[in-house]
Amino acid sequence: MRKAGHSFSRRVKEELARRFPEKECCARAELAAIIHTTGSLHFQASRRQMLTVESEYVFLLRKVFRLLKDFQVRTEAYIKETERLGGRRRYSLYLRGEEQVKKVLVACGIMTRRFELEGGINPSLVRNSCCRTAFLRGVFLGRGSITDPQKKDYHLEIITENEEFAHGLVYLMDLCGFKAGLSVNRRKDFLVVYLKDAEAIGRFLSFVQAYTAYLHWEEMRIIKGMREEVNRQVNCETANLEKTLRAAREQVEILSAFAGKAGLNSLPEKLREAAFLRLENPDASLRELGRMAVPPVSKSTMNYRMRRVLKIAKNFTGEKEIFPSKGNRNNG
């Protein structure tokens, strides 16, 4: 179901949020990716750690909630609408209880067993290829966005403030067959991992199992491609027509100059007819002139006659300019 006013990004995420990994290893990878990209650690007044996951999409937080439940963490988790940024609602999921928070973070490979935070992607999370799908899905859900396929430029990106994570992500995407670019935004406060190629973006959608979005993406790509092809053909036909008209105008000029100086009667009969037809029908194609001839002739025959008469006319006018006295010799 398409909802009006919802961006393509949101639709992709809604679809991804509905997809739950079957294997425990994948659930862990996906949860880790979402926490990596949207989570933060806070200390409460009691100096006890609290994990917060923030998003403008409440459906994403519901997914985190369910993934945590599968983790058998006895959570004190709850979701709350926190603030509105430029009219947009934001939601937060809080996970209280230091033991619980540490259990989740260690299991997700975000915290070492000595409770130090890790910046990059823990290799154990993405060792299995099934988990790579889940991890990239989580990353896209957390901080990814994609342009509407109807727009002119194709673009998919994932943003992060963490340089180590960004490099890890580029490496992981490479392992999965995606050549991602990496850039820093203008204010240099976050990094952008991106794909620009329409075909690769389509593959990415299919890879993270956003199949409905993938089909829509490919469909729009094909329609756009066909539209471009039609435009190209129309442009090509217009160019050909212009070329024909330009050539005809040139012929008229040469022939009328010749007619003024030597007269068309000096020409052999078939060539004289060709010259007359051209002068009387300056916009007609050679095929059309051929049909007007008596008896009618093919386009190639008319083309042959036109080239001969133009050659005579050009020679005559050309020679006249250089050797005026010899001009009459061309009449014979």
C-alpha separations of 269 from 144, 167, 264, 274 in Å: 77, 80, 10, 9
Candidate list 12, 16, 17, 26; residue touching Zn ion; CB under 5 A = 26
Q: Which is nearer to Zn ion, 77 or 169 (CB)?
A: 169
Q: Which is nearer to Zn ion, 25 or 79 (CB)?
A: 25
- What are all long-range contacts of 205-210, with beta carbons under 8 Å and residues at least 24 apart? 205/12, 205/146, 207/133, 207/136, 207/176, 207/177, 207/178, 208/16, 208/133, 208/136, 208/137, 208/140, 209/16, 209/19, 209/133, 209/137, 210/12, 210/15, 210/16, 210/19, 210/137
Cβ at position 73, least distance to Zn ion in Å = 19
Q: Which is nearer to Zn ion, 139 or 302 (CB)?
A: 139
Extract the runs of DSSP E, i.e. beta strands, from the chain: 39-43, 49-55, 78-85, 88-95, 144-146, 156-160, 181-184, 191-195
The interface region with Zn ion, picked from 22-30, 163-171, 224-232, 313-321 by CB under 5 A, is 22-30
Q: Which is nearer to Zn ion, 91 or 135 (CB)?
A: 135
Cβ at position 75, least distance to Zn ion in Å = 22
- What 3-state DSSP class applies to 79? strand
Candidate list 25, 58, 192, 279; residue touching Zn ion; CB under 5 A = 25
Cβ at position 131, least distance to Zn ion in Å = 4
Candidate list 6, 18, 23, 151; residue touching Zn ion; CB under 5 A = 23
Q: Which amino acid is at 243?
A: K
- What 3-state DSSP class applies to 173? helix
Q: Which is nearer to Zn ion, 25 or 257 (CB)?
A: 25
Cα 33 from Cα 161, distance rounded (Å)? 14
Cα 24 from Cα 32, distance rounded (Å)? 12
Site string for Zn ion, 214-233 (x = CB under 5 A): --------------------
Q: Which is nearer to Zn ion, 25 or 41 (CB)?
A: 25
Under a CB-based contact definition with an 8 Å cutoff, are residues 158 and 208 in contact?
no
Using CB under 5 A as the binding criterion, the count of chain residues that bind Zn ion stands at 6
- CA quadruple 67, 68, 72, 75: dihedral sign: negative
Nearest to 270 by CA among 238, 291, 295, 249: 295
Query: Which residues ranging from 119 to 178 are in contact with Zn ion (CB under 5 A)?
Result: 128, 130-131
Q: Which is nearer to Zn ion, 79 or 107 (CB)?
A: 107
Instruction: Confirm or reject binding of residue 286 to Zn ion (CB under 5 A).
Output: no
The interface region with Zn ion, picked from 26-34, 145-153, 170-178, 313-321 by CB under 5 A, is 26-34
The interface region with Zn ion, picked from 24-32, 81-89, 102-110, 111-119 by CB under 5 A, is 24-32
Cβ at position 77, least distance to Zn ion in Å = 23
Cβ at position 21, least distance to Zn ion in Å = 7
Q: Which is nearer to Zn ion, 26 or 267 (CB)?
A: 26
Cβ at position 195, least distance to Zn ion in Å = 23
Under a CB-based contact definition with an 8 Å cutoff, are residues 21 and 28 in contact?
no
Cβ at position 104, least distance to Zn ion in Å = 18
Cβ at position 133, least distance to Zn ion in Å = 8
Q: Which amino acid is at 141?
A: L
Q: What is the CA radius of gyration of the chain?
A: 36
Cβ at position 29, least distance to Zn ion in Å = 6
Please give the structure tokens belonging to residue 326: 């010899």
Interacting residues with Zn ion (CB under 5 A): 23, 25-26, 128, 130-131
